[in-house]
Amino acid sequence: AQKVTQAQTEISVVEKEDVTLDCVYETRDTTYYLFWYKQPPSGELVFLIRRNSFDEQNEISGRYSWNFQKSTSSFNFTITASQVVDSAVYFCALSGASQAAGNKLTFGGGTRVLVKP
């Protein structure tokens, strides 16, 4: 069975501070994908990143960066110089990469980020 744990339920920061969201996962699949999604108050899940289990390179996209460590089964997400618009709930998710796994995501419980001006 797959499991994703986001230990932080809520994080509050002041604008321009950095914030790191933790994600730890469990899976028996040898190949899998990891995701981060953002959910603003409107409810739609906005895709941020997909990472293949074979690719352990860290990635940076603007103010966002991701640290994937297979050895510790973690896929952490950092927002640098946070802005009020970053306020949302962020979800880490996991999926097997085989056809049998299909298009099924297992989500963590989410971390609510509140950025205060």
Partner 1 sequence: KAGVTQTPRYLIKTRGQQVTLSCSPISGHRSVSWYQQTPGQGLQFLFEYFSETQRNKGNFPGRFSGRQFSNSRSEMNVSTLELGDSALYLCASSSGPTIGGYTFGSGTRLTVV
- C-alpha 67/C-alpha 14 separation (Å) is 23
Among 28, 41, 103, 117, binds partner 1 (CB under 8 A): 103
User: Any residues with CB less than 8 A from the CB of 109 and at least 6 apart, and which?
Assistant: 5, 6, 9
Residue 50 binds partner 1 (CB under 8 A) = yes
Residues in the interface with partner 1 (CB under 8 A) total 27
Q: How far is the CB of 110 from partner 1 (least distance, A)?
A: 7
Beta bridge partners of 14: 116
Query: What are the φ/ψ torsions at residue 77 (nearest 5 degrees)?
Result: -130, 130
Q: How far is the CB of 108 from partner 1 (least distance, A)?
A: 8
Member of 67, 107, 112, 114 binding partner 1 (CB under 8 A): 107
Does 37 sit near partner 1 (CB under 8 A)? yes
